[in-house]
Amino acid sequence: MMANPVTETVGGEPYEYVPLGKYVVRAPGVCDGRPMFKYTRIEITGTLERLAAGETVK
């Protein structure tokens, strides 16, 4: 079962997303709906790939 979409106003514009966790969302109009960090366009898959390649969080 998918969570209900949430709509917030960010920078004076509506931002609609489906929360997948506290910091991870799926926004239908951003990044083709792929999971990303909330309020960013940073996709989760890219971040995980970089961590797997040995980069640190810093």
The pTM for the full model equals 0.79
Characterise 11 by phi-psi region: left (phi > 0), alpha (psi -120 to 50), beta (else): left
- Which distant-in-sequence residues (6+ apart) come within 8 Å of 31 by Cβ? 41, 43
DSSP, collapsed to helix, strand or coil, labels residue 48 as: helix
Q: For residue 20, give every residue at least 6 positions away whose Cβ sits within 8 Å of its Cβ, in sequence order, or none.
A: 3, 26, 35
- What confidence score (pLDDT) does residue 2 get? 63
Q: Is the pLDDT of residue 52 over 70?
A: yes
Over range 26-52, report the average pLDDT: 93
The pLDDT tens digits for 16-30 are 999 999 999 999 888
Sequence ranges of the domains in the chain: 6-52
Confidence check: pLDDT of 1 > 70:
no
Question: CA 49, CA 24: separation in Å to the nearest integer?
Answer: 16
